[in-house]
């Protein structure tokens, strides 16, 4: 009989999905910062 490793499988999925969610959130925050920086540069360019 094989051992029951369902708990380890679920824990693995939780860790992987959590990591993916953290990565996607990081990408979203970086994109927002880049958009803000681009707008700031555009405004600065208009003032000069």
Quote the pLDDT of residue 22. 98
Average pLDDT (3-18) is 98
Q: Where are the alpha helices (DSSP H) in 1-48?
A: 6-47
What are the C-alpha distances in Å from 8 to residues 3, 12, 14, 27, 35?
11, 6, 10, 29, 41
DSSP character for 16? H
Question: What tens digit of pLDDT does each residue of 11-46 get?
Answer: 999 999 999 999 999 999 999 999 999 999 999 998
pTM: 0.76
């Amino acid at each position: 009989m094989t051992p029951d490793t369902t708990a380890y499988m679920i824990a693995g999925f939780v860790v992987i999905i959590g990591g993916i969610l953290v990565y996607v959130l990081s990408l979203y925050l970086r994109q927002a910062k880049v958009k803000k920086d681009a707008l700031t540069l555009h405004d600065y360019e208009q003032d000069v």
